[in-house]
Structure 1
Amino acid sequence: MKAHILVQPYMRSKGEDVELPGGDPERFDTLLQRTTEQMKFADENGFAGFCMTEHHFQVEGIETTTNPLLWNLHIAQNTKNLMVGQVGMALTAHHPMRLAEDLAMLDHMTDGRLFVGFVRGNTPRWLNNLSQYLDITTTQSDRSKADARNRRLMEESWQVIKKAWTNKTFNHYGEFWDIPPTDITWPFPPTKAWGGEDALGEGDILKKTGIVPRPHQREGRDFPPLYVPFSWSMETAKFWAKEGAKLVAFVSKEEFIDMTMDLYIEEAHRHGHTECTVGNTLVLGGHLTIGSTEAQAESHYRDFEELFNFAYNAPPYNVPMGRVWKGTVNQVIDQVGALKEKYGTEEFVCWHHVGYFEQEEELEMLDNFSQVIKAVS
């Protein structure tokens, strides 16, 4: 069994009433120290990976996941074995060539411990801000014009990244991106000598380009493994099935997971990913409220439930809580074991808030779940 930690960093603690803690440098220093200590503990106690979502401008101190790539590098430099990754980077908020290079550099700097994940983005305050030059906004998968445009950009940006990762040089001409632009005159002697014989066209017009570096090479694939979060958009799920990605699901309704995975595996096989099974493709997640006693576990859950209903199951998100790793160690062993037996899955995720509870409580939660890992492995 592999267990990854999806860290949601908080710069305000349970019960605090303070304005704009997200911009406080001292609070960020505390968060950095606490997260580093917890991930060192996780690395030494059987956890497999660390990851974050992407959010910006969270001045209220809630889910302050600014720049997951820098977080990935920091955690990799302070641990020995943890994989690091994202679930995920908003493809609609980044130039794909820049993101392809940044991730490839991170892959080398972590010595191949990287996994990657991508989303369309669900937070208008920052996505609409960063993507306004492309006239992109967030959507609710409602098949509106804005939703369709957002989806097309996500899909095209991934194709650009994949081309950049799997080709020494390439070009791409689509709805959103011209790579390279068609009007670049490039009479650069090193390109003529070493840039590939088809890099330049008539009049020294640049025809192809590439990224520096390309990702760390792995046996059987040219780029890091893909882990993509799933909630309920089947269209998004089918797109990533075509790419052979692992599906990270916090959905608690097993009948919905059953239906989704049947369609997901069928789509993956149809596009040549015959190695995909439910067991090696489905990654099951839950919110971490485990306790050393039933009373402590119930207290953790009540505190988390209050937070979730205030900050997540509320406008503009309105998302249901989904699965929770709730109860004592033995109770969570039963929960994880039953899911492992039913689906054959070997990978699980703990949604873990760092900075919301006391440091000792959060370390105790990780320690308790490490006992689950040992028992179920």
Structure 2
Amino acid sequence: MAKPKVIVQLYPMFPADGDEDRKAKRPLGNDNEMYHRIVHEWTDIVKEADQMGVWGLGTIEHHFHSEGYEVGPNPGVLNAYWASIVENARVGALGYVAATHDPLRVAEETAIIDHLTKGKYFVGFARGYQSRWANIMGQWTESPATVSDGSDADDRNRQIFEERVNQVIEAWTEETVRIKGDFYEAPYPFDTGVEGYPAWEIARDAGAVGEIGDDGSVQRVCVVPKPYQKPYPPIFIAASKSQASIDFCARNNFNPTYFMPTKGVVELSHYYTKTANECGFATQLGQNQNIVRWPHITKTSADFDRKLRDYDLDIYKNFYGPFFPQFPRGNDDELIQGMKDSDIFIGGTVDESIKAWQVIYDQVPCEYITLIWHWAQQPKDDMLEELRLFMDKVLPELETPDFPQSVAAAAE
């Protein structure tokens, strides 16, 4: 038997003493001195988590968070920097909001980071649910944000998302590509190719075969570099409730990343296993599955409530809640109880935490665990102490089968 692979996923939440203090300090996310302190504190966390033996260190892509909840606009830059300071852990993003990006540029950027890390890298993709920024940055494809509600906008977002991810993979794995998608073309314009490229002769004679047509036009493109890992890094896909996301993951041997209660994780993990095997992958229950939880490991049961109030209530009430109306409503005490009942927040004393995690692992032995703390609302040292307790006390009590190495095995 083996142990789950732990990913620490962080996005700095600028600290405030409740939502009234956050309002008084508006716009807190634009406090440049605070960001400077936090981004360098992040380095300390990355180094210590690496020494604790985590499998991965990840971050998000979200923009324009002037209120200071999720200040994480560029995962690639952070990953590239972390590559220079970690010794054992992988780095990555959970993840790039694919519909807002040029897929060939993402393929290039992530391949470079894969080389910088010498294969200790994973790539995550998400569909994008925050319209404040996704609708702006996705305007060139008219890609709307979505909360997986089954609407026409949701369907369009999914189509663009899946097309983009497939195009990234094609760029990674094929020497040259000629893409005629519903939402993206390369070359552009597709029918004629790129005409009037002055250096077409050397591209024809020294570039990849087929890039240049007989008339000197660019007919295919060669995305360089290719990833260090073959065929490409492990891919994680964010999933909050949609079976269609699990279908996409299972068909492609991707790692679904579950932002949902345990009941949904169990049901969709079984569905993933069945579908993946029907697609020709020899997949065991739990393999490739990545469960996301917001933990607190505390000295007493009452201290769990205190930490939820001090570190999580503000963002849960004012940010998560409006996006997800299925979350409980009520006064602060009722919201804290709702967090505890949600299955998403998990914790208590060491013994209580072990039991809570064992309940999950008795049902589905997820290969990966992603842990999220609302640092820097929660102070760095307190968060690191909780991570240490998880790695030293909780993780040894959890088991998974010895799953085979991912299709994208690192070339080490």
TM-score by length of 2: 0.85
**After superposition, where does 1:1-377 map in structure 2 within 5 Å?**
1=3, 2-15=5-18, 16-17=21-22, 18-181=25-188, 182=190, 183-185=193-195, 186=197, 188-218=200-230, 222-254=231-263, 256-272=264-280, 274-318=281-325, 320=327, 321-371=342-392, 372-376=394-398
Deviations 1:22-65 (A, max 9, x none): 12221111111222112211111122211122100111111111
Deviations 1:139-181 (A, max 9, x none): 2333333222211111111121111000111111121111112
Counterpart-to-counterpart distance in 1, 2:262 and 2:395 = 23
Q: Which sections of structure 1, spanning at least 5 residues, go unmatched?
A: none
Q: What amino acid sits opposite 1:210 in the alignment?
A: C
- Contact 1:13–1:357, Cα closer than 8 Å, also in 2: no
Check 1:13–1:179 CA distance in 2 against 1; reply closer, same or farther (3 A cut).
same
Q: Secondary structure at the match of 2:215?
A: helix
- Contact 2:13–2:375, Cα closer than 8 Å, also in 1: yes
Q: Secondary structure at the match of 1:309?
A: helix
Deviations 1:87-113 (A, max 9, x none): 221111101111111111111111111
Deviations 1:246-271 (A, max 9, x none): 122132242x3332122222222232
- CA drift of 1:224 comes to 0.5
Counterpart-to-counterpart distance in 1, 2:99 and 2:262 = 29
Q: What amino acid sits opposite 1:125 in the alignment?
A: R
Deviations 1:317-372 (A, max 9, x none): 44645422311122212222333333233321111122102233222222221222
- CA drift of 1:204 comes to 1.4
- CA drift of 1:236 comes to 1.8
Check 1:305–1:111 CA distance in 2 against 1; reply closer, same or farther (3 A cut).
same
Q: Secondary structure at the match of 1:4?
A: strand
Counterpart-to-counterpart distance in 2, 1:358 and 1:61 = 15
Deviates more, 1:4-13 or 1:185-194: 185-194
Q: Secondary structure at the match of 1:315?
A: helix
- Contact 2:50–2:86, Cα closer than 8 Å, also in 1: yes
The alignment of Structure 1 onto Structure 2 pairs a total of residues equal to 372
Q: RMSD in angstroms over aligned alpha carbons?
A: 2.0
- CA drift of 1:14 comes to 4.0
Counterpart-to-counterpart distance in 1, 2:359 and 2:343 = 17
Q: Secondary structure at the match of 2:123?
A: coil
- Contact 1:107–1:224, Cα closer than 8 Å, also in 2: yes
Counterpart-to-counterpart distance in 2, 1:98 and 1:60 = 30
- Contact 1:84–1:114, Cα closer than 8 Å, also in 2: yes
Counterpart-to-counterpart distance in 2, 1:290 and 1:311 = 24
Deviates more, 1:95-104 or 1:331-340: 331-340
Counterpart-to-counterpart distance in 2, 1:140 and 1:251 = 13
- Contact 2:265–2:291, Cα closer than 8 Å, also in 1: no
Check 1:197–1:44 CA distance in 2 against 1; reply closer, same or farther (3 A cut).
closer
Q: Secondary structure at the match of 2:370?
A: strand
Q: Which sections of structure 2, spanning at least 5 residues, go unmatched?
A: 328-341, 400-412
Check 1:308–1:23 CA distance in 2 against 1; reply closer, same or farther (3 A cut).
closer
- Contact 2:294–2:373, Cα closer than 8 Å, also in 1: yes
Q: What amino acid sits opposite 1:132 in the alignment?
A: Q
Q: Secondary structure at the match of 1:280?
A: coil
- Contact 2:292–2:372, Cα closer than 8 Å, also in 1: yes
Check 1:184–1:297 CA distance in 2 against 1; reply closer, same or farther (3 A cut).
same
Q: Secondary structure at the match of 1:115?
A: strand
- CA drift of 1:76 comes to 2.5
- Contact 2:311–2:374, Cα closer than 8 Å, also in 1: no
Q: Secondary structure at the match of 1:116?
A: strand
Q: Secondary structure at the match of 2:122?
A: coil
- Contact 2:11–2:375, Cα closer than 8 Å, also in 1: yes
- Contact 2:251–2:279, Cα closer than 8 Å, also in 1: yes
Counterpart-to-counterpart distance in 1, 2:134 and 2:367 = 33
- Contact 1:340–1:346, Cα closer than 8 Å, also in 2: no
Counterpart-to-counterpart distance in 2, 1:199 and 1:295 = 65
Check 1:145–1:345 CA distance in 2 against 1; reply closer, same or farther (3 A cut).
closer
Overall identity of the aligned pairs, in %: 27
